[in-house]
Amino acid sequence: MHKNLISIHDFSKEEILHILSVAREMEADKSQKLLEGKVVACIFFEPSTRTRLSFETAANRLGARVIGFSDVANTSISKGETLKDTIKMVSNYVDLIVMRHPLEGAARYASEVCDIPVVNAGDGANQHPSQTLLDLYTILETQGRLDDVSVNMVGDLKYGRTVHSLLQAMSHFSPRFCFTSPDELRMPEEYKEFLDRRGITYTETASLQEHLRDCDILYMTRVQQERFSDPMEYEKVKDVYRLERDMLEGVRPNMKILHPLPRVGEIADNVDDTPYAYYYKQAENGMYVRMAIIACLLGYR
């Protein structure tokens, strides 16, 4: 098992399946005191609800204590302290660091300047590997398999780190992809070339209706205002998709709607009580998967 979780690309299919199997064990027994005496730091340079709180809960459920910050204004970074010095200091205090940062590559850099495990909780538009593992766990839970699943990714495919990580991880499992986005937010060429090299097929469309009825997983995403440098560009695309209950007529009976959350209007509330909505359980699964990630990186599984 790797020491760090920085990019899902670093993990083999076997390592991914191992973490998913440990997560199943964690879901069956939600309080295992494997980490008594250990301390985990959750340091978040960007806002978060699910990732930070589920990592903190995961560490607590495993018996570890948690320190950290969610607002850099209250740290010495606001006085000009560098990321390197911040990481070096925190790594002196704890056994594992969970870090979210707006800069792509920041988590990899952190892992290079300290000796303890680092988990990337999201670095800019690059990677969000713990989200990917919980997405895979949820796909397995809802479809009974990871192989040959048809995934329709919808929304901000340009800046969306969750879709980038998920696409790479799914490449182990012979998926079929549809990319639904406005022209401005299409899946970047590098990810499509990655799929081409692996012989994985995908279609692209701007119409949400076009492939609603031929997918097993509808992976909705938010158009992320914080990734746009030009506010006018955001205004043009922010309301491009809205999934409503009546659009779900005729979808596959096994189809599940996932969303990394938060949502800001792309899924109407009237979808929540359909049998297809699975995003709340998906977020709950994050806790079990993050328990597994921490246990595996610290060598307890």
- Contacts to ligand CP by CB under 6 A: 48-51, 122, 131, 260-262
Residue 245 in contact with residue 275, Cβ under 8 Å? Answer: no
Contact indicator for 95, 116 with CB cutoff of 8 Å: yes
In one-letter notation, the amino acid at residue 6 is I
Tell me the three state secondary structure of residue 250.
coil
Closest to ligand CP by CB, 131 vs 285, is 131
Nearer to ligand CP, 50 or 61 (CB): 50
Two tokens, residue 168: 């790479």
> DSSP characters for 46-77?
S--SHHHHHHHHHHHHTT-EEEEES-GGGSGG
Residues with Cβ within 8 Å of residue 44, at least 6 apart in sequence? 51, 52, 68, 69, 70, 99, 100, 121
Assess contact for 221 and 259: CB atoms under 8 A: yes
Q: In angstroms, what CA-CA distances link 49 with 27, 46, 216?
A: 20, 10, 27
- For ligand CP, give the closer residue by CB, 111 or 131: 131
SS3 assignment, position 189: helix
CB 121 within 8 A of CB 55: yes
Beta carbon nearer to ligand CP, 163 or 251 = 163
Minimum separation from the CB atom of position 212 to ligand CP (A): 23
For residue 262, say if its preceding peptide bond is cis, omega within 30 degrees of 0.
yes
**Nearer CB in complex with ligand CP: 70/75:** 70
Smaller CB distance to ligand CP: residue 131 or 152? Answer: 131
Could you tell me the smallest distance in angstroms from the CB atom of residue 123 to ligand CP? 12
CB-CB contact of 256 with 218 (8 Å): yes
Residues 6+ apart with CB under 8 A from 110: 83, 87, 97, 99, 101, 118
Nearer to ligand CP (CB atom), residue 137 or residue 211: 137
Nearer to ligand CP, 117 or 122 (CB): 122
